[in-house]
Structure 1
Amino acid sequence: MCADTPDTTGPDYRDTVFLPETEFPMRAGLPQREPGWLARWEKIGVYDRLREKTGRKPFTLHDGPPYANGHLHIGHALNKILKDMVVRSQQMMGHDARYVPGWDCHGLPIEWKIEEQYRAKGLNKDDVDVVAFRQECRKFAEGWIDIQRDEFKRLGVTGNWADPYLTMDFHAEAVIAAEFMKLLMNGTLYQGSKPVMWSPVEKTALAEAEVEYHDHTSHTIWVRFPVVKVGANEFADAVKQIIIDPVEAEAASQSVKDELLQASVVIWTTTPWTIPQNRAVAFNPSYASVDYGLYQVVGSNDGSNAKDGELLIIAKSRADDVASAAKIDALELRRDVSQVELANLTLAHPFRGVEGGAGEWDFDVPMLPGDHVTDDAGTGFVHTAPSHGDDDYQLGLKFGLPMTYNVEPDGSYRADLPLFGGQAIIQPDGKEGPANVSVIKQLAYAGALFAKGKIKHSYPHSWRSKAPLIYRNTPQWFAAIDRPIEDGQGAYGDTIRERALRSISELVSFTPPSGKNRLYSMIEGRPDWVLSRQRAWGVPLTCFVKKGARPTDPDFLLRDDRVNARIVAAFEAEGADVWYVQGFKDRVLSDLVDSSEYEQVFDVLDVWFDSGSTHAFVLRDRPDGTADGLADLYLEGTDQHRGWFHSSMLQACGTRGRAPYRGVLTHGFTLDEKGMKMSKSLGNTVAPQQVIDEYGADILRLWVALSDYTVDLRIGKEILKGVADSYRRLRNTMRFILGNLDGFDPAERVAAAEMPELEQWVLHRLAELDAEVRKGYAAYDFQGVFQKLFTFATTDLSAVYFDIRKDALYCDPPGSIRRRACRTVLDILYHRLTVWLAPILVFTMEEAWLCRNADEAASIHLEDFPDTPADWLNEPLAAKWAQVRQVRRVVTAALEVQRTAKVIGASLEAAPVVHVQDKAVLAALKSVDFAEICITSDIQVTGDPEPAEAFRLPEVPGVAVVFELAEGEKCQRCWQILPDVGSHAHAGTCKRCNDALG
């Protein structure tokens, strides 16, 4: 049927045409209407009713807990929408898809907020009872959980919102403590003194997952370490065995020794404050990696700290850069210095003998080989402070270097440190303290400063306070990831690392696959897990240590299952706060051991241990958990390879011997439209609530489905406009279907075998899509699923099938087989499209479903994907209709030329002649009503040679179209131009319309 203007002088048959009628409006009004559907789902209990479906295989997506301390950002929305799409699609594919949302409640961010409130009131946290302080933290978390829960639900996310899991619930705290005590009992737990990432502002150790990197401007210095001895030192024999030297150097002559004794080894560092803690200088042991040389200063300039003629030892590749930094004309190479010679050098600390030093630094500094040393920057030598860097610590451990304890928890030097006592490295406000400058000045005073400058580089910061961090040696509690565990759970290895790596290799599937190597490499190279934090709000390290014992003593830790059971029972009843109540130690130790012999540990657990333990108190313990305590899927952002995926893997491997999940899915980060990181200062953030207020949550969900979540996703005003346009096109498709199903009676249905070929072709496409949709949802390929459905809806349906069948739907009599078959197919399309799209467009498909399902308890989200009859697939028919559609393209293009030239106003005014060379294609076209398919009043298909003036499309060879006008009069009802119009009982009608009018 053509959409041009009817002849108003003839009879008016408008009321006799079956035009679409539907309550499904063109304008969605999602922001206003979506809350009503949310309320309806809650009223009818959709999530609980889904759980009542029996005999279904469970599918459990375990929720990585967001942190309860602020409104949701767009990354939260992306994450929760993806999870919801997984859960809904798995449910509709026949699973019992459970989703228990949860929250991370302990830790520094909440504690920091309460401390800020205290500081604003002039109060000191340390003056408040710790239990009272923890209660304030709990209350703060509870408030944000309620807010975030409503914000998540507004996104259309289904789940057990009435009973989420919280890491601060008493049972959760009891299980976290119990999981920690498994490490205590299986020998994995130990106390060690080693450098950890430390926040002076927050006065606590941080895990790598709690660190972010920002540009930072640091002091940089080149420092002389004078050679004071040439000859074997206490480490020489061990060192020489490590040096990779193809030819052993000959013993140095006395003159060479004298020359070296006049030289200094020059180091470079960006942390001047660590110089007082120096205990060695490291060099690269491989001759193939770094060449070293003895250089003489030539031509020092004004402002230079260098001295003409002085001798320096540095890497040969760094000479020019060092000369430039020191403002000298050149460094002249005197001779090569071998690694064996370096191993025989003993240096003096740059502060040796300094006035006021009180002998603090009057010790020898050895030269030691370290594979971590490169000549990419600096001098080819690394100043080594074992208490303030992991590489330094490992080297110190290897050679028995002493640890230092010069830096206090607040980031200041210990008060009695000569020259620098009490000076801050990082101040309480996160700004640089005076320590760096003081050290530089003392180096200059001591004659050890060779050059100085500043450098802008990536530097670790706390992700909470945003303040710079330092490496600091402190006594901490660790989980040893390479220590053999005798717990009877060694199927995948004897250590945490072995179990984790085998789990990744053998047990876990990754989406995208690149996540596997990422997590594997992180765990393969990581150090022991720092479990302890020096804070108040968290689950305490529930252990006791023997007074006077050393950490290496076998009885240092109290290991007693009876004590552990009492702790767990107390936590179940009273929560972890009970650990801090006066007398608790005596309460759990009395009549078992002498409590006076033990000290209670008051550090709290790393919050990553909390979230890493969630598998135990959510999957294992809850009625809606899993039979085996394992999740089918963990789904988070790519940063969680070093966060939740990582900590959950380590924790589970330490306590149950394997990964707690079978699958891991990761998504990228959210960026603005230009691909820049979102920042409040840049003003380029997109808040979920803003999108919902303007467009509705379904548009936000559609943005997720249209995006490739495996990489970083962009969002902004223009992108959202494009998403809204795609939504409108899809909504129009659903509106057409609903409008033309008005009054549909199941008695109208036509069997597939009795349908016209066009309807059978649509059924074939649905059968193809059924397989593709199920495969896509199973692979979590939401972008692929939506693209296939959207293309089908807008191309196969709106542009072809609906376009062709409008005439039959509007003008055929109700009993016509063509119209009945079309309405049967529309009914099938309706049932499949609404259900297939429901996991993505949760509100819109509910609206569409309720238009035809008036039951008060009805919901699209209670439905499953319908089975598709195998006999709908018809490949020969599909191949034939692919040919028909190709020829239709040529006809449509030929008519568009005439329409543009204003020769015709509508395609029904045409009766083209189509020349087709291929006999099989010609036969296919003659077997169908090709005029109906091309929406022309008549058409002639011929194998005759095509005339030169015929229209062609280069991409469809062998087809040519000659335009002809249709002959006859226009039917006043269907607007086709036919010869028989005017010869029937009803004036101005064709035979089809006359018969329809009766």
Structure 2
Amino acid sequence: MCADTPQTPDYKDTLNLPKTGFPMRAGLPKREPAWLERWAQIGVYDKLREKAAAAKGSDAERKPFTLHDGPPYANGHLHIGHALNKTIKDMIVRSHQMMGFDARYVPGWDCHGLPIEWKIEEQYRKKGKNKDAVPVVEFRQECRAFADSWVEIQREEFKRLGITGNWDDPYLTMNYHAEAVIADEFMKFLMNGTLYQGSKPVMWSPVEKTALAEAEVEYHDKESFTIWVKFKVAEAGGFVAADGEDADYAGADSAIVAQDLEGAHVVIWTTTPWTIPSNKAVVYGADIAYGLYEVTGTPDECWAAAGDRFLLADNLAADVFKRARLSEDQYTRLRGVSAEELSSLSLKHPLAGAEGSNGEWDGIRDFRAASFVTDTEGTGFVHCAPSHGMEEFELYRDLNMLEQVITYNVMDDGSFRADLPFFGGTYILNRKGGEGDANKTVIDKLVEAGGLLARGKIKHSYPHSWRSKAPIIYRNTPQWFASVDRKLDDGMGEMGDSIRERALRSIDELVKWYPQTGRNRLFSMIESRPDWVLSRQRAWGVPLTCFTRKGALPTDADFLLRNEDVNKRIVAEFEEHGADVWYEDGFKARVLGNSVDPDDYDQVFDVLDVWFDSGSTHAFVLRDREDGTEDGIADVYMEGTDQHRGWFHSSLLQACGTKGRAPYRNVVTHGFTLDEKGMKMSKSLGNTIVPEEVVKQYGADILRLWVAQTDYTADQRIGPEILKGTADSYRRLRNTIRFMLGSLGDFREEQRVAPEDMPELERWVLHRLAELDQKVRSGYQSFDFQGVFSSVFNFATVDLSAFYFDIRKDALYCDGDTLNARAARTVLDILFHRLTTWLAPILVFTMEEVWLEKYPGEGSSVHLQDIPETPADWLNPPLADKWSKIRQARRVVTAALEVQRTDKVIGASLEAAPVVHVRDKEALAALKSVNFADICITSDIMLTNDPAPAEAFRMPEVDGVSVVFEKADGDKCQRCWKILPDVGRHSHAGVCGRCDGALS
């Protein structure tokens, strides 16, 4: 190059390139704790409450909105289900706050109950310490300390996820006031006649020695013994065949009929051999076809002999004989047996007359029809131990025969009573929940007595305690129940007279369900549920604060002490001392006082079902706290789908008994969290995802974004690959926001352009914002975070990054003080305020970072802002329709240029000046009304209605638009890189006219 050759100046420094301190790499794991500290220093949650209080009575008054927290259990570190649950709740609270509500959130914990008690017992066992030797108050205090330690741990883990709320003053079910209110709510059941003591089969944990509620039971596969047992016909007679009966015996003499049934055996099948000692009856189906079968020959090792006769359902006989190791040629069907004929029979227990039985099983067994018998499994006959089966119990209850059939053979630890012949002292389960010795002992005795036809094992779904994971049994035991059908005379009958009626009407008339399937599930449960078992035979909980008259029966009118003065004294004692005071010496005399003679009453020491505790929280949280609600009803309850039988269920029953209606207006339900393959998470499988580990690797915002991207109403999946995809979405969104921040770096208020003065492109963006504002608000109102985020994300990455920003980069970087540049920055500022507030409930840390980049003041926080109101006149459907056509045409142009770029004909779109053939004249006019070259990011463009040549580029999905590639004519502007004919003809070397003006 010669020394005197003129050089083109470097114009890079004259461009208005983005300037921002907002980093491309988020570094969330290290930076998020600082924002948490900042929010604590500012007191964001308290400032929002102060803001709402200051606005009361003014035009800016904020309507209260309360999500009532279903309390997690204070026992162990958080799992991924906790993170999902609390994040959804947080999004609900934050979004409603930013939509103009006073959204309060009081976190809470469930602190009583067996899981904590079990942990203390485990500690005792390791030390060789006997729980029963420890004073109950001392034991309860250890449980309290254990729960308190986990509350502190979980509180910090929840806060690390960015969950907002009144963390300094949460509610705990073990707080003294909470215990007093729980007792008071229980005594409302006492006073309104809902409470009664009854004896019926309940789900019982022998390992934990307590009754369980349905919500405390989960189902797992279990291998059980299965046996086919013979009950001998004791007598038969009085049956006369009617006309038209089975031809095998129609017209037969009744004596002959009786003769061939006497000595026969009715065969039953059961998977619970331990219930045979408690058998009191056998039942059959009135509509089932039965037959009398005779064994004609037997193989070795068979418990049947030639000549044995058995009564079996015809559909099941072949299977029964196969189980007994008999082939088809070793038995025959003698004849049919009708239900009328069966009704004339009575049976003997298989252990009747056994040596050493002391007559325990000698009584005749009842034999009758029952509606629950089927011929789809077993033998067509069902053995009844009404003390251990609800259907049998209800059958004999309705017959007024419970006194004849109820037994008390099984003790609270799952052992048989010591004086039960043959089986006394044996255990159904061992102390760890494994198989005890009772089943084998019963089977061996049946074999010895000749009462067994066959035996085997079966793997089936079986109820287990969700705490100890041990199998449970049904056991008849005196318990305290809340009736769901008794008429309540409490003056709150607007929704019905009974708890069940009120609950069902509340479900349909007072509550909205998200998703609607939640309504169906809870309705069916309430519709068919039995009375609520309130009592537990444990120590750590709120006691059943009631007294029974000595010598009275549960059916006596004065069995329960109902005295308002006594109740008030109990509540006052609990308020001051907590529920532990119930166990102190002298308490009974103190609270009964002069109301009644303490010696006339016994104090009940069972504790309440913990579901009653959490079901009562509406009273001591919503009703009693200053940050509760005026009517004690929550706007939202939100939990997992398992809570249809748990917290949603118990809260509904409890409130219908004490408030007369449901304690919630909206119920939101989420599904379970599975691994990437759709498998349930398990430590043994090594597929668990721990929230703490995700936060350490990615940051809490990535975990929150995963929640927002899932359809939480169904089961969701999470794993390393899914989290990588979530992090990628986050990066794309972050890059969009980074460009926006960089382009706003030098924006000044005096540069703002009114919407009516903006170019069409900017007004189209405002239209999209108005559309999206409606979607965002509607989505947040209906708790659809997936819908909100996908709409905002698509807008940010497609409408903004790939379209609007792509087009306006040129004006933002290269223009001087032009309308295009000023309008673009005005729109960017509008976008900033909406994107940050729209996304703040989801990406709580990132949107704070974005906000502080623009508003870095000491007390500044995006979480103190509301979503800005969007003017209705920004909506412009005709303009949107026009720009839809423009964008469709642009797609064809950019696709055509991409072909040239791939073929290395051009390196960038600014090297092109294509000819665009548009068939539709209205579409052509739309393209000509805007700077279509700028929109396509080409240096020039020609628009024509002429027919397109055959070689023109076309896209099948965009009809009527074709593109012929042409290179741009002229030189490359050294500042904006457009190729134009006028480059080099202006005062500044090597630039186009537009850039020359900007430089001037």
State the TM-score, normalizing by the size of structure 2. Answer: 0.96
Given the alignment, which residue of 574, 578, 581 partners 1:575?
A: 578
| Aligned-residue CA RMSD (Å) | 1.6
1:945 equivalent among 944, 947, 955:
947
Give the match for residue 186 of structure 2: 180
1: CA distance between counterparts of 2:101 and 2:516?
Answer: 24
Q: How far is the alpha carbon of 1:397 from its aligned partner?
A: 1.2
Paired with 1:56 and 1:343, the residues of 2 have a C-alpha distance of: 72
Question: Counterparts of 2:777 and 2:677 in 1: how far apart (Å)?
Answer: 34
Cα distance in 1 between the residues matched to 2:517 and 2:818:
56
Q: Is the 8 A contact 2:522 2:645 kept in 1?
A: yes
Q: Which moved more, 1:394-403 or 1:486-495?
A: 394-403
Residues 364-375 of structure 1 mapped to structure 2, 5 A cutoff: 364-375=364-375
Which residue of 2 is the match for residue 876 of structure 1? Answer: 878
Q: Is the 8 A contact 2:549 2:559 kept in 1?
A: yes
Please tell me whether residue 205 in structure 1 is matched to residue 211 in structure 2.
yes
Q: Percent identity?
A: 70
Residue 117 of structure 1 is matched in structure 2 by: 123
Q: 2:304 aligns with which of 297, 303, 306?
A: 306
Aligned partner letter, 1:136: E
Pick one of 129, 144, 164 that aligns with 1:158.
Answer: 164
Indicate if the aligned counterparts of 1:298 and 1:328 stay in contact, CA closer than 8 A.
Answer: no
- The residue type paired with residue 444 of structure 1 is V
* 165 and 250 in structure 1: CA distance in 2 versus 1, 3 angstrom threshold: farther
List aligned pairs for 1:5-16, cutoff 5 A: 10-16=8-14
Note the 1:421-432 alignment, pairs <5 A: 421-432=424-435
What is the deviation of 1:333? 1.9
Cross-structure match for 1:471 = 474
Residues 1:355 and 2:358 are matched in the alignment: no
Cα drift, residue 656 of structure 1: 1.3
Given residue 426 of structure 1, which amino acid in structure 2 is its aligned partner? L
Answering whether residue 961 of structure 2 is matched by residue 959 of structure 1, we say yes
**Aligned-residue offset at 1:891:** 0.2
Aligned to 1:100: 106
Contact 1:508 1:664 in 2 (8 A): yes
Alpha-carbon distance between aligned partners in 2 of 1:302 and 1:860, rounded to the nearest angstrom: 84
Determine the structure 1 residue equivalent to 2:255: 254
Distance in 2 between the 1:276 and 1:39 partners? 65
The question of whether the paired residues in 2 share the 8 Å contact of 1:293 and 1:335 is answered with yes
1:881-911 deviation digits (Å, cap 9, x = unpaired): 0000000000000000000000000000000
Residue in structure 2 matched with residue 842 of structure 1 by the alignment:
844
Matched residue, 2:322 = 324
Q: Distance in 1 between matches of 2:980 and 2:366?
A: 105
Deviation at 1:303, TM superposition (A): 2.1
Give the secondary structure class of the aligned counterpart of 1:86. helix
Structure 2 Cα separation of the partners of residues 701 and 260 of structure 1:
71
| Whole-angstrom distance in 2 between the partners of 1:466 and 1:170 | 31
**Is residue 519 from structure 1 mapped to residue 522 from structure 2 by the alignment?**
yes
Selected match of 1:315 from 313, 316, 322: 313
Matches within 5 A, 1:643-722: 643-722=646-725
Amino acid at match of 2:610: V
Secondary structure at the counterpart of residue 692 of structure 1: helix
SS in 2 for 1:225: strand
1:793 aligns with 2:800: no
**Aligned partners of 2:7 and 2:530: how far apart in 1?**
89
Deviation at 1:10, TM superposition (A): 3.3
Instruction: Indicate the residue corresponding to 2:746 in structure 1.
Output: 743
Comparing 890-899 with 363-372, greater Cα deviation is found at 363-372
Deviations 1:132-180 (A, max 9, x none): 0000000000000000000011111101101000000000000000000
Question: Matches of 2:508 and 2:83 in 1, distance apart?
Answer: 31
| 1:917 partnered with 2:919 | yes
Query: Which of 5, 22, 25 is the matching residue for 2:20?
Result: 22
Distance apart, 1:250 and its partner CA? 8.4
Q: Which moved more, 1:251-260 or 1:435-444?
A: 251-260
Alignment pair present for 1:278 and 2:283: no
Tell me if structure 2 keeps the 8 A contact 1:232–1:345: no
The SS at the match of 1:957 is strand
Aligned residues: 977
Q: 1:766-845 counterparts in 2 under 5 A?
A: 766-813=769-816, 815-845=817-847
Equivalent of 1:725, from 723, 728, 738? 728
1:219-618 superposed matches below 5 A? 219-231=225-237, 253-285=254-286, 287=287, 290-330=288-328, 331-399=331-399, 400-401=401-402, 402-618=405-621
| Larger deviation, residues 295-304 vs 472-481 | 295-304
* Closer, same or farther: CA 783–270 of 1 in aligned 2, 3 Å: same
What does the per-residue CA deviation read over 1:253-304, in whole Å, with 9 as the maximum and x for residues that have no partner? 110111111211100000000000001111123x2xx222111224322222
1:530-581 C-alpha deviation (Å, 9 max, x unpaired): 0000000000000001111111111111110010000000000000000000
**TM-score of the pair, normalised by structure 1:** 0.97
Q: Distance in 2 between matches of 1:587 and 1:37?
A: 53
Distance 2:309 2:421 in 1: 30
Q: Which moved more, 1:670-679 or 1:393-402?
A: 393-402
Q: 2:906 is matched with which residue?
A: 904
Task: Tell me which of 622, 637, 653 is aligned to 2:625.
Answer: 622
**Following the alignment from structure 1 to structure 2, what is the Cα–Cα distance between the partners of residues 94 and 368?**
66
Deviations 1:798-857 (A, max 9, x none): 0000000010010001x1110000000000000000000111101000100010112211
SS of 1:759's partner is helix
* AA in 2 matched with 1:824: T
Q: Is the 8 A contact 1:22 1:742 kept in 2?
A: yes
CA distance in 1, matches of 2:250, 2:422: 41
The aligned amino acid for 1:347 is: L
Q: Is the 8 A contact 2:237 2:255 kept in 1?
A: no
Cα displacement (A) at 1:231:
4.3
Counterpart amino acid of 1:887?
A
Which AA in structure 1 matches 2:275? Answer: T
Partners in 2 of 1:9 and 1:351 — Cα distance?
Answer: 115
Task: Say whether the 8 Å CA contact 1:249–1:338 is kept in structure 2.
Answer: no
| Paired residues of 1:298 and 1:329 also in contact (CA < 8 A) | no
Contact 2:636 2:667 in 1 (8 A): yes
Q: Which amino acid aligns with 1:73?
A: H
Which letter maps to 2:736? T
Distance (Å, rounded) in 2 between the aligned partners of 1:298 and 1:274: 31
* Match of residue 77, structure 1, among 78, 83, 87: 83
| Displacement of 1:332 | 2.2
Deviations 1:653-684 (CA, angstroms, capped at 9, x unpaired): 11111111111110000000000000000000
State how far apart, in whole Å, the 2-side matches of 1:419 and 1:396 are: 27
**What CA distance in whole angstroms lies between the structure 2 residues aligned with 1:62 and 1:385?**
43
Deviations 1:112-135 (A, max 9, x none): 000000000000000001000000
C-alpha displacement of 1:91: 0.8
Aligned counterpart, 1:191: 197
Q: Tell me the equivalent position of 1:37.
A: 35
Q: What is the DSSP-based 3-state SS (H/G/I as helix, E as strand, rest coil) of the residue aligned with 1:299? A: coil
Q: Give 1:630's aligned amino acid.
A: I
Distance in 2 between the 1:865 and 1:122 partners? 61
Aligned-residue offset at 1:392:
1.7
Shift in Å, 1:377:
1.1
Query: CA shift at 1:252, angstroms?
Result: 6.6
Contact 1:540 1:604 in 2 (8 A): yes
Distance 1:636 1:874 in 2: 40
Report how far residue 865 of structure 1 moved: 1.1
CA distance in 1, matches of 2:115, 2:463: 17
Q: CA deviation at 1:493?
A: 1.1
| Alignment deviations for residues 324-347 of structure 1 (CA, whole Å, 9 cap, x no partner) | 111101342222211222222100
Q: CA separation of 1:969/1:155 partners in 2, compared to 1, >3 Å: closer, same or farther?
A: same
Q: Which amino acid aligns with 2:175?
A: D
